[in-house]
């Protein structure tokens, strides 16, 4: 700022005093700019800074930096570092939102020492543009909508031709022989696989209102156990730790079966086919102290019923954890990555939440729900 050549150039073009010109220039800057002294007092704030902090420049100039940024903000530490090192530092994606200037004010910070006045620091903020934020939100919404739309579209449009192809393959299989018969069989099998996928996608499209009824969770878990042990989890030892005094829940039977079947199937797949000491525990418990914010609504609700599926399989990689419930996320060669996305959707539709914690040989998915009387 105190660049001599810069000041001279300004002076040549204007009759106004140099200070006025500099102030006008800094005010024309679209990025908030603040200068603080070594005691942390704000010495100068340009117009963009007034707008950003929603505090007038006069008032800002009476404040300390610590009073205008969020409590414990990394900006404060950054200023100290710059002062110590006497070298500029940038930091990206810092939220400077406060009750005064609003939430989610994410900025990139450029903090530089003012060499001419030791201890003084210049802070420039570059707000993530509204366009960028909106773009991000639209992308998320778009992604969610496209999964929903795709589900409905697939269900309606793809099923008919598929059944035609399957029928034709069946006819072929009956009349051809040898290798051709195997190929016709392959077509049939693959069509069946697509049909299963279509069925699962359909659940994402909210085509039908969900009917809910009072249910005993143990009936559902026992049913899932029966399906699993007579099929894909034949080789796995199941144990249940049920609390028989658990109250009823309000839910859709088929959908809840889908939830626990998906969780048990994942558990069985992580244990693998070749393991002889694989174990899946189905557990229910009443935990009156659990209050959680349901995603999507800011409210806290009491969700005292806890239903867990625990396995002693390979565990989930920590890199995968943040994306676990996203559609099309899979580590399996033949996996569609829709299982947990579907689980998350059904759980959300039931005003419940699902959580997962995992370490090697111990992975637990917990569904937390309200009891029937509170639903």
Ligand X SMILES: Nc1ncnc2c1ncn2[C@@H]1O[C@H](COP(=O)(O)OP(=O)(O)OP(=O)(O)O)[C@@H](O)[C@H]1O
Among 324, 347, 367, 369, binds ligand X (CB under 6 A): 324
Nearest distance from C-beta of residue 31 to Mg ion, angstroms:
47
Q: Contact at 8 Å (CB) between 149 and 142?
A: no
Torsion angles phi and psi, residue 92, rounded to 5: -110, 145
Tell me which DSSP letter residue 98 carries. Answer: B
Q: How many CA atoms within 13 Å lie on the side-chain side of 193?
A: 9
Among 127, 228, 311, 368, binds ligand X (CB under 6 A): 311
Among 338, 347, 353, 354, binds ligand X (CB under 6 A): 338
Token match 């299963």: residue? 196
Nearest distance from C-beta of residue 285 to Mg ion, angstroms:
24
Q: Which of residues 241-270 bind ligand X (CB under 6 A)?
A: 262, 266-267, 270
- For residue 48, the partner it binds in Mg ion, ligand X, none, with Cβ less than 5 to 8 A by kind, is none
Site map 327..346 versus Mg ion, x via CB under 5 A: ------------x-------
Stretch of 111-119, 218-226, 248-256, 335-343 contacting ligand X, by CB under 6 A? 335-343
Calpha distance 229→268 (Å, rounded): 10
Among 46, 258, 266, 270, binds Mg ion (CB under 5 A): 266
Query: Binding to ligand X by residue 329, rule CB under 6 A?
Result: yes
The C-alpha angle with vertex 47 and arms to 41 and 49, in degrees rounded to 5, equals 50
Strand ranges in 249-352 using DSSP code E only, listed in sequence order: 249-251, 279-286, 291-293, 300-302, 305-311
Query: Binding to ligand X by residue 73, rule CB under 6 A?
Result: no
Among 75, 316, 368, 370, binds ligand X (CB under 6 A): 316
**How distant, in Å, are the alpha carbons of 110, 243, 354 from that of 369?**
46, 15, 9
Q: Which of residues 270-289 bind ligand X (CB under 6 A)?
A: 270
The end-to-end CA distance of the chain, in Å, is 62
CB neighbours of residue 220 within 10 Å? 21
- For residue 316, the partner it binds in ligand X, Mg ion, none, with Cβ less than 5 to 8 A by kind, is ligand X
Q: What are the b/e assignments for 348-365, b being 16+ CB within 10 Å?
A: eebbbbbeeebeeeebbb
Calpha distance 22→24 (Å, rounded): 5
Q: What's the maximum distance between 2 C-alpha atoms anywhere in the chain?
A: 98
Nearest distance from C-beta of residue 281 to ligand X, angstroms:
12
Query: Considering only CA atoms, which of 83, 91, 92 is closest in space to residue 112?
Result: 83
Site map 340..369 versus ligand X, x via CB under 6 A: xx---------------------x------
Among 126, 152, 181, 336, binds ligand X (CB under 6 A): 336
- For residue 161, the partner it binds in Mg ion, ligand X, none, with Cβ less than 5 to 8 A by kind, is none
Query: Binding to ligand X by residue 313, rule CB under 6 A?
Result: yes
Residues that bind Mg ion (CB under 5 A): 266, 339
* Residues at the contact surface with ligand X, assessed by CB under 6 A: 262, 266-267, 270, 311, 313-316, 320, 324, 329-332, 335-341, 363
């Amino acid at each position: 700022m105190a660049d001599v050549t810069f000041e001279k150039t300004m002076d040549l073009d204007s009759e106004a005093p140099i200070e006025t010109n500099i102030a006008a220039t800094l005010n024309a800057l679209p990025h908030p700019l603040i200068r603080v002294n070594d005691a942390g007092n704000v010495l100068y704030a340009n117009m963009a800074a007034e707008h950003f902090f929603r505090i007038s420049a006069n008032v800002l100039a009476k404040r300390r930096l610590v009073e205008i940024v969020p409590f414990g903000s990394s900006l404060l530490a950054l200023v100290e570092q710059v002062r110590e090192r006497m070298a500029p530092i940038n930091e990206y994606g810092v939220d400077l939102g406060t009750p005064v200037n609003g939430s989610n004010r994410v900025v990139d910070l450029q903090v530089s020492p003012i060499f001419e006045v030791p201890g003084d620091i210049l802070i420039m903020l570059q707000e993530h543009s509204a366009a960028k934020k909106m773009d991000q939100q639209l992308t998320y919404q778009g992604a969610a909508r496209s999964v929903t739309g795709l589900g409905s579209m697939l269900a309606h449009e793809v099923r008919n031709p598929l059944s035609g192809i399957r029928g034709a393959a069946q006819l072929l299989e009956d009349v051809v022989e040898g290798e051709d018969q195997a190929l016709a069989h392959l077509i049939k099998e693959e069509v069946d696989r697509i049909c299963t996928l279509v069925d699962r996608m359909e659940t994402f499209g909210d085509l039908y209102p969900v009917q809910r009824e009072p249910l005993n969770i143990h009936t559902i878990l026992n049913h899932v156990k029966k399906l699993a042990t007579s099929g894909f989890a034949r080789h796995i030892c199941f144990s249940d730790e049920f609390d028989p005094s658990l109250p009823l829940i309000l839910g859709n039977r088929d959908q809840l079966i889908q939830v626990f079947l998906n969780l048990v199937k994942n558990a069985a797949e992580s244990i693998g086919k070749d393991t002889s000491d694989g174990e899946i525990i189905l557990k229910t418990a009443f935990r009156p102290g659990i209050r959680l914010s349901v995603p999507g609504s800011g409210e806290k609700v009491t969700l005292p019923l806890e239903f867990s599926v625990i396995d002693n399989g390979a565990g989930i990689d920590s890199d995968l954890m943040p994306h676990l419930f996203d559609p099309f996320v899979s580590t399996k060669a033949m996996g569609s990555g829709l299982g947990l996305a579907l689980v998350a959707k059904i759980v959300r539709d039931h005003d419940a939440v699902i959580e997962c914690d995992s370490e090697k040989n111990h992975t637990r998915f917990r569904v937390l729900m309200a009891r029937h009387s509170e639903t």
